[in-house]
């Protein structure tokens, strides 16, 4: 099977699994949001950021190194597995012991206990890093997709049941752990490797993975500094409003990018020595991504007030503005994410991009938080525009892909998406006074009626690409 057909197969299986998981996740999220208070989500958001930052350090990029390595031997695998266990268990213990300090810094009494329970994620990750990496390396996408589906369903079911029984923030904590436990158990049923606790022979993996982990770690601290800063300066309820709106805005991106990255990274690793073919596939993927992401995310932005009132309820009305602002820039962030994954896949790591993020994002967040949730959301949008305008051209140059060619792949969806947004805004004014239960469906119909015919007139070849992709999926 060719690499392209493996990619299509991977997208098909991973996409199908994530579609089911995403549908369930959206339904459960909309129910749970009405059962919990914004403060519950605020505490969970701060805890999740802390756990994810230290998890990145504990993983040390070892999984990516195993996927990217040209060759592997069993002895090195066993030692990488041993190193992964030592790092994760050790850092997990450090996080649990230091949790009271986080409670003092963020002035939140329940936060230390939430962090300590959540630190069990380190133990679960320790035993699954190597089997998961081997599944991705072998492009066993059907198996991986099945695991992600079952784990996602387990997490959502546990979260919902606990929320219905009044568990508050613990429904989010335990639900997340339940999904991670199922995921680790299933991956271990695959190519499990018996760990050896000796470090000799893992130098190549530590070097590559360490550089990647350093970049990811700094990137995570920077990209999630908005929640950390909000946790320090705003109330838990305000943090919850911001984090939920950010979560809803980025949830489609997270799901799509998790699908794409699982498939793209091993594919890019295989194509890293065939740059013309790699560039062609990258531009084709970006064109399809723009076709889908612009109408979805700009559509969400255009109907944010009505969507929040109907889906989340009156308690969450202040989440409408952040949802509107953040959703506008998600397509550009998704484009940047695919380009960054391609950069990592060919081994062309660039710490200068990380330095740009370090300089711009926290400064903007510290300024924006002075105006509360809306100020922080505006700062997020401004900072992201500045950063991506500097990093995307650098990454394109490394891949020998003209940045103007990337812009041309997104031109038509952006033009038609702008027209769609304008017509939805006009429709809102014309429907002023109509109940949101009727207004929201009407606005969605207006948006679709503008985007689909508009893109058909402007770019007829796009539908040919979609037809080819559909045919490839069917076969």
Calpha distance 225→49 (Å, rounded): 9
**What whole-number percentage of the chain has pLDDT above 70?**
79
Which carries the bigger pLDDT value, residue 218 or residue 44?
44
- Statement: residue 428 has pLDDT above 80: yes
Average pLDDT, the chain: 82
> pLDDT category, 60, cuts 50, 70, 90?
confident
pLDDT band at 467 (very low <50, low <70, confident <90, very high): low
* Residue 457: per-residue pLDDT: 82
Instruction: Provide the pLDDT for residue 416.
Output: 92
pLDDT digits (tens, 9 = 90+) for 137-160: 666 667 777 788 888 889 999 999
Of the candidates 107, 108, 88, which has an alpha carbon nearest to the alpha carbon of residue 96?
88
Confidence label for 442 from pLDDT (cuts 50, 70 and 90):
very high
Q: What is the mean pLDDT of residues 203-218?
A: 72
pLDDT tens track for 163-196? 999 999 999 999 999 999 998 888 877 667 777 7
Whole-number pLDDT of residue 470: 58
Lowest mean pLDDT among 181-195, 264-278, 297-311, 339-353: 264-278
pLDDT at 114: 96
pLDDT tens-place string over residues 332-346: 988 888 887 777 666
Q: What is the mean pLDDT of residues 237-244?
A: 89
pLDDT at 271 over 70: no
């Amino acid at each position: 099977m060719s690499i392209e057909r493996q990619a299509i197969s991977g997208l098909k299986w991973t996409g199908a699994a994530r579609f089911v998981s995403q549908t369930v996740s959206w339904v459960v999220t909309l129910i749970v949001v009405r059962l919990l208070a914004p403060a519950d989500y605020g505490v969970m958001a701060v805890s999740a950021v802390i756990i994810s930052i230290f998890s990145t350090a504990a993983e040390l990029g070892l999984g990516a190194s195993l996927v990217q390595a040209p060759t592997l031997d069993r002895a090195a695998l066993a030692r990488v597995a041993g190193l992964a266990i030592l790092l994760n268990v050790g850092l997990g213990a450090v996080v649990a012991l230091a949790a009271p300090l986080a409670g003092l810094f963020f002035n939140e009494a329940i936060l230390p206990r939430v962090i300590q329970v959540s630190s069990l994620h380190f133990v679960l990750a320790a035993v699954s890093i190597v089997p998961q990496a081997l599944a991705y390396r072998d492009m066993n996408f059907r198996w991986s997709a099945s695991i992600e589906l079952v784990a996602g369903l387990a997490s959502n079911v546990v979260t919902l049941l606990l929320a219905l029984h009044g568990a508050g923030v613990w429904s989010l904590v335990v639900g997340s752990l339940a999904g991670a436990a199922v995921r680790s158990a299933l991956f271990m049923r695959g190519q499990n490797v018996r760990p050896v606790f000796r470090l000799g022979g893992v130098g190549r993996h530590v070097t590559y993975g360490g550089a990647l982990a350093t970049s990811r770690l700094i990137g995570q601290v920077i990209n999630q500094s908005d929640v950390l800063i909000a946790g320090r300066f705003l109330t838990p309820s305000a943090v919850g409003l911001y984090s939920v709106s950010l979560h809803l805005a980025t949830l489609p991106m997270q799901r799509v990018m998790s699908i794409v990255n699982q498939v793209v990274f091993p594919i890019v690793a295989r194509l890293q020595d065939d740059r013309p073919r790699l560039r062609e596939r990258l531009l084709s993927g970006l064109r399809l991504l723009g076709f889908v992401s612009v109408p979805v995310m700009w559509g969400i932005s255009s109907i944010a007030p009505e969507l929040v009132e109907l889906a989340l309820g009156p308690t969450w009305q202040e989440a409408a503005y952040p949802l509107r602002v953040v959703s506008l820039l998600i397509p550009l962030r998704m484009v940047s994410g695919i380009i960054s994954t391609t950069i990592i896949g060919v081994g062309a790591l660039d710490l200068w991009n990380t330095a740009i993020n370090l300089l711009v994002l926290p400064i903007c967040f510290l300024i924006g938080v002075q105006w509360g949730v809306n100020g922080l959301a505006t700062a997020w949008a401004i900072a992201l525009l500045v950063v991506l305008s500097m990093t995307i051209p650098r990454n394109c140059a490394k891949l020998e892909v003209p940045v103007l060619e990337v812009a041309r792949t997104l031109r038509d969806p952006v033009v038609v998406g702008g027209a769609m947004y304008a017509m939805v805004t006009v429709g809102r004014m014309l429907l002023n006074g109509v109940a949101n239960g009727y207004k929201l469906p009407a606005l969605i119909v207006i948006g679709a009626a503008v985007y689909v015919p508009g893109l058909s007139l402007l770019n007829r070849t796009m539908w040919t690409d979609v037809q080819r992709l559909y045919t490839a999926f069917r076969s």
